[in-house]
């Protein structure tokens, strides 16, 4: 025991575990901070919300609640659509084959047992209202004539599209083209139904359905095909349509829109050609405020005077209607919901009216002068040798005389492919085209000797010229012949050299054209858009709510709009978000539609369908890159997506974009499809021209180059700009030799004699202001015409 009590205390050995000291400095509790603060109050720091860590049970509970909420929202939406409070469920019936009989399909859907049918009064378009109290649902069936604008416009407002397919082929070339346009615009909810399977011999029915599923799979990979031949199948189809999950189109969910069931026109006293148009229909999308602007598709932007709320003409449960009252009481039913307030009403002004005195030079103040002096002292500059009259900013574009270039330019160097091989492929494709023309069905009357009567020689010549230019552009990108009759320094005086296309600075606000004084520009487009969309979601707007049947009084509308409606064309109105009537610079990303291969040159007039608008404009094409400068493309290329830049009315993305070209026969052929990228006048489109010369005498790192310029002054003028060659050498002009434009150049290696010396010059380009909101109606689709412009599916 004693021995134990006298044991030495434990001493740690040399390998003692050293624990880290507590770091008190980094995260400390509120207590110690307050003690150190000695009662001083800290500045309030804006902190992000602390996300509480939930226990696993809570996490599961929360997830299930969110699931439940989502499910509830989807169900509520389904219940709302076509219910007694919501707008009728609008269905667009699109036949995709010319063998399909629309009247037959409508006869099956207008079943007296299912519900009551009301035929619509307006126009020649077949449409009817179907009220089914038993299914607690009301439908509005419409069909579109096979005419481009009608189909696309009706699809913008339809809740569901019902595609009717042929049991043997599915769709024909017109149907395929129609689908391409609808897919590009954005499909709402859709259903596929096959008409005429029962008409086939029983043995062939199963076979036909298998084959059809295969065809349909290409476009609609996981959709079931329903049948539409009997009353029972029609009923099943209605149930499917009522219970389907709704697909959303963002551009229409954020705006109020309305399909006109009836319209009336009251000309103004002074002028019969304009007046007040009264449009009646069900409000969809969002609450409609009378002070916002209204865009009537294909007609323009207008202001509203007032919104009335008449009786709903198609109530789901008509028992409510009391015995016929005298006319005085009937008037009371028509109550005025809202009258426009001139102070709050959006204006129709689309452009800034430029002040000619704006931008005049004012004298700088004393402070500004002293600031500038300080700044100059701070920034000690490298001295460069530059031509006379060059500003310091321009000096940034110019290369140091002795310095080897290190900026990596984005060169799309020519690949040295065998042109012969390409040409033979071209011949092949020519043959294919010929074959396609041979298999086309021509009317018996078109005899060979009459064939030439339909060919427009001038148009053929122009087209050939364009094909040649496109081919040259592919082989020698941006190369331009140096003119012989004008000095190059004058012909290319607006161009400049850049050390590196990617990294050299370029001021987006410099040398802007006069048109830039007319447009609106956002301080920050993305933030404005976010703020607007947040307001739409959260702010309560007063006005006509979704599902209400209203009459809009639209002021200053041309009488032609009403005439157009009376002829049976659909009348569709969208409310504009703030700023959407104003002009700015729109950038859209598009890719070529595979069915069209004719060359499209920049600045050609094209027809744009952007979101809910249609207009004509002359676009610029440029590369779709993440840089600050984007290279101008002379043609709309087939393989890559390009950005299209135009002057047009501001639209907040998302919005789909379709580009059409009007043919000489009045048809519109689809050229490209895509989406709206941004509204940004500062996006710089830079055009490149490449001057080429040939090595005449070659030394180790020197060469004499000719044919780039044809006089001594040009050589001196372009001396600061860097040279490159097709095979990757870089160099500079040392000095001119003689007076014929020969020049001595130094390179970073020995040139090969078959190399080409190139010089890149750049200038910023802007679109042409050719915006025109009037788009002529395209000629209705005819079979032969479509098969000319769209390759048959099985040809591929």
CATH number at residue 695: 2.40.10.190
Looking at the domain assignment, is residue 788 inside a domain? no
Q: Degrees (nearest 5) of the Cα angle 539, 542, 544?
A: 120
pLDDT tens-digit series, residues 284-297: 988 898 889 999 99
Q: What is the mean pLDDT of the chain?
A: 79
Q: What is the DSSP letter of 750?
A: P
Which pLDDT score, from 0 to 100, does residue 375 have?
Answer: 61
pLDDT tens-digit series, residues 227-264: 888 888 888 888 888 888 888 888 888 899 999 988 99
Looking at the domain assignment, is residue 86 inside a domain? yes
Looking at the domain assignment, is residue 138 inside a domain? yes
Q: Is 354 exposed, middle or buried (0-12, 13-18, 19+ CB in 10 A)?
A: middle
Of residues 418 and 702, which shows the higher confidence score?
702
Backbone angles phi, psi at 210, to 5 degrees: -65, -45
What phi-psi label fits residue 503: left (phi over 0), alpha (psi between -120 and 50 degrees) or beta? alpha
Inter-helix orientation angle 102-109/231-243, to 10°? 80
415 close to 399: Cβ distance less than 8 angstroms: no
581 close to 771: Cβ distance less than 8 angstroms: no
pLDDT tens-digit series, residues 146-179: 678 888 989 999 999 999 998 888 888 888 888 9
CA distance 328 to 656: 48
Which pLDDT score, from 0 to 100, does residue 433 have?
Answer: 38
Which pLDDT score, from 0 to 100, does residue 313 have?
Answer: 83
- Number of CB atoms found within 10 A of residue 739's CB: 11
Q: Residue 566: is its pLDDT beyond 60?
A: yes
Instruction: Look at residues 508, 685, 652 and name the one whose alpha carbon lies nearest to residue 584.
Output: 652
Q: Which residues contact 179 (CB under 8 A, 6 or more apart)?
A: 96, 171, 219
- In the listed set 196, 226, 243, which residue is the last one of a domain according to the structure? 243
Looking at the domain assignment, is residue 337 inside a domain? no
- Global pTM value: 0.74
Q: Degrees (nearest 5) of the Cα angle 624, 630, 635?
A: 70
Pick from 97-101, 223-227, 448-452: least confident = 448-452
Average pLDDT over residues 358-383: 57
496 DSSP β-pair partners: 762
% of residues, the chain, pLDDT over 70: 77
Tokens of 12: 């740690």
Average pLDDT over residues 5-22: 78
Looking at the domain assignment, is residue 188 inside a domain? yes
294 DSSP β-pair partners: 302, 575
pLDDT-derived band at 447, boundaries 50, 70, 90: low
735 close to 744: Cβ distance less than 8 angstroms: yes
285 close to 254: Cβ distance less than 8 angstroms: yes
Average pLDDT over residues 365-383: 59
* Structural domain span for residue 113: 78-243
pLDDT-derived band at 133, boundaries 50, 70, 90: confident
> What is the domain count for the chain?
2
Looking at the domain assignment, is residue 538 inside a domain? no
CA distance 594 to 420: 25
pLDDT tens-digit series, residues 278-329: 999 999 988 898 889 999 998 889 999 889 888 888 887 765 444 444 444 4
Q: How far is CA 223 from the centre of its chain?
A: 27
CA distance 311 to 130: 18
533-567 as b/e, with b when 16 or more CB fall inside 10 Å? eeeeeeeeeebbebbbbbbbbbbebbbebbebbee
Of residues 90 and 401, which shows the higher confidence score?
90
Q: Residue 383: is its pLDDT beyond 50?
A: no
- Listing DSSP states for 151-167 in one string gives HHHHHHH-SEEEEEEBT
Looking at the domain assignment, is residue 484 inside a domain? yes
Tokens of 778: 């395209």
Pick from 243-252, 556-565, 583-592, 719-728: least confident = 243-252
Q: Is 628 exposed, middle or buried (0-12, 13-18, 19+ CB in 10 A)?
A: middle
Tokens of 720: 């600061």
CA distance 178 to 172: 10
Looking at the domain assignment, is residue 434 inside a domain? no
For the chain, the distance separating the N- and C-terminal CA atoms, rounded to the nearest angstrom, is 103
Residue with token string 């932007």: 301
Stretch (H or E) spanning 177: helix 173-185
- In the listed set 226, 243, 260, which residue is the last one of a domain according to the structure? 243
Average pLDDT over residues 85-112: 85
557 DSSP β-pair partners: 275
Average pLDDT over residues 578-598: 91
Instruction: Look at residues 483, 538, 552, 489 and name the one whose alpha carbon lies nearest to residue 712.
Output: 489
Which pLDDT score, from 0 to 100, does residue 538 have?
Answer: 85
Of residues 507 and 387, which shows the higher confidence score?
507
Tokens of 554: 């639209």
Counts for the chain of helices (H) and strands (E), in that order: 20, 31
What CATH number is associated with residue 203?
A: 3.40.50.300
User: Which range is most confident: 135-144, 605-614, 781-790?
Assistant: 605-614
- In the listed set 243, 263, 280, which residue is the last one of a domain according to the structure? 243
Q: Which residues contact 203 (CB under 8 A, 6 or more apart)?
A: none
Which pLDDT score, from 0 to 100, does residue 564 have?
Answer: 86
Which pLDDT score, from 0 to 100, does residue 296 have?
Answer: 92
Q: Residue 403: is its pLDDT beyond 70?
A: no
Q: What is the DSSP letter of 106?
A: H
182-203 as b/e, with b when 16 or more CB fall inside 10 Å? bebbbbbbbbbbbbbbeeeeee
% of residues, the chain, pLDDT over 90: 26
pLDDT tens-digit series, residues 641-673: 999 999 999 999 899 999 999 888 888 889 999
CA distance 605 to 661: 8
Q: How far is CA 358 from the centre of its chain?
A: 34
Of residues 133 and 388, which shows the higher confidence score?
133
Average pLDDT over residues 354-373: 61
Stretch (H or E) spanning 659: strand 656-662
């Amino acid at each position: 025991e004693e021995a134990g009590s006298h044991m030495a205390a434990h001493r740690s050995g040399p390998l003692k575990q050293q624990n880290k000291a507590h770091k008190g400095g980094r995260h400390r509790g509120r207590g110690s901070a307050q003690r150190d603060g000695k009662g001083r109050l800290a500045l309030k720091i804006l902190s992000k919300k602390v996300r509480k860590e939930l226990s696993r049970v809570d996490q599961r509970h929360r997830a299930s609640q969110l699931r439940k909420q989502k499910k509830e929202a989807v169900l509520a939406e389904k219940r709302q659509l076509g219910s007694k409070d919501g707008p009728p469920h609008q269905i667009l019936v699109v036949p995709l084959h010319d063998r399909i009989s629309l009247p037959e399909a409508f006869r099956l859907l207008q079943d007296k047992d299912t519900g009551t049918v009301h035929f619509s009064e307006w126009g020649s378009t077949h449409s009817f209202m179907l009220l089914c109290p038993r299914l607690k649902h009301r439908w509005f069936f419409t069909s579109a004539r096979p005419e481009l604008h009608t189909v696309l416009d009706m699809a913008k407002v339809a809740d569901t599209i019902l595609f009717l397919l042929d049991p043997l082929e599915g769709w024909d070339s017109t149907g395929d083209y129609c689908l391409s346009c609808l897919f590009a615009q954005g499909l709402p909810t859709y259903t596929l139904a096959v008409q005429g399977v029962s008409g086939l011999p029983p043995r062939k029915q199963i076979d036909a359905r298998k084959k059809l599923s295969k065809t349909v799979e290409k476009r609609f990979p996981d959709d079931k095909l329903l049948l539409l031949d009997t009353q029972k199948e029609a009923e099943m189809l209605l149930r499917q349509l009522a219970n389907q999950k709704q697909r959303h189109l963002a551009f229409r969910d954020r705006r109020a829109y309305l399909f006109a069931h009836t319209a009336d026109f009251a000309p103004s006293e002074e002028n019969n050609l304009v007046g007040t148009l009264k449009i009646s229909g069900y409000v969809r999308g969002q609450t409609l405020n009378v002070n916002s602007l209204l865009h009537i598709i294909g007609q323009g932007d207008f202001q509203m005077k007032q919104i009335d709320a008449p009786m709903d003409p198609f109530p789901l449960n008509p028992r409510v209607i009391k015995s016929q009252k005298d006319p005085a009481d009937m008037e009371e039913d028509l109550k005025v919901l809202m009258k426009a307030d001139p102070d709050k009403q959006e204006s129709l002004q689309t452009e800034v009216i430029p002040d000619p005195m704006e931008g005049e030079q004012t004298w700088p103040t004393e402070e500004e002068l002293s600031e500038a002096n300080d700044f100059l002292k701070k920034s000690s500059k490298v001295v460069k040798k530059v031509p006379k009259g060059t500003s310091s900013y321009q000096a940034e574009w110019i290369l140091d005389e002795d310095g080897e270039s290190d900026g990596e330019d984005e060169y799309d160097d020519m690949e040295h492919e065998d042109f012969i091989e390409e040409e033979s492929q071209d011949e092949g494709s020519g043959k294919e085209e010929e074959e396609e023309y041979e298999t086309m069905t021509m009317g018996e009357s078109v005899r060979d000797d009459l064939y030439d009567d339909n060919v427009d020689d001038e148009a053929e010549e122009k087209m050939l010229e364009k094909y040649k230019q496109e081919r040259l552009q592919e082989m020698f990108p941006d190369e331009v012949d140096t003119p012989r009759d004008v000095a190059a320094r004058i012909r290319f005086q607006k161009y400049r050299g850049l050390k590196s296309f990617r990294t050299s600075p370029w001021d987006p606000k410099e040398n802007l054209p006069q048109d830039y004084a007319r447009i609106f520009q956002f301080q920050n487009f993305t933030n404005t858009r976010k703020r607007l969309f947040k307001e739409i979601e959260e702010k309560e707007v007063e006005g006509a709510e979704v599902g209400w049947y209203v009459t809009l009084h639209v002021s200053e509308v041309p009488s032609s709009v009403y005439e157009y409606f009376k002829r049976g064309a659909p009348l569709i109105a969208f409310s504009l978000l703030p700023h959407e009537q104003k002009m700015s610079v729109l950038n859209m990303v598009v890719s070529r539609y595979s069915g069209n291969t004719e060359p499209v040159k920049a600045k050609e007039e094209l027809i744009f369908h952007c979101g809910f608008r249609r207009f004509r404009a002359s676009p610029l094409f440029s590369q779709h890159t993440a840089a600050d400068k984007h290279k101008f493309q002379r043609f709309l290329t087939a393989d890559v997506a390009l950005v299209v830049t135009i002057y047009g009315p501001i639209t907040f993305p998302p919005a789909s974009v379709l580009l059409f070209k009007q043919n000489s026969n009045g048809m519109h052929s689809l050229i490209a499809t895509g989406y709206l990228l941004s509204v940004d006048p500062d996006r710089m489109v830079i055009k490149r021209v490449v001057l080429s010369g040939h090595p005449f005498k070659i030394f180790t790192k020197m060469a004499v180059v000719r044919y780039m310029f044809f006089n001594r002054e040009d050589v001196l003028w372009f001396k600061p700009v860097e040279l490159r060659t097709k095979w990757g050498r870089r160099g500079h002009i040392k000095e001119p030799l003689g007076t014929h434009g020969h020049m001595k150049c130094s390179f970073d290696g020995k040139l090969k004699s078959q190399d080409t010396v190139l010089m890149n010059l750049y200038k910023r380009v802007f679109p042409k202001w050719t915006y025109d909101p009037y788009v002529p109606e395209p000629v209705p689709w005819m079979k032969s015409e479509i098969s000319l412009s769209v390759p048959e599916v099985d040809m591929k």
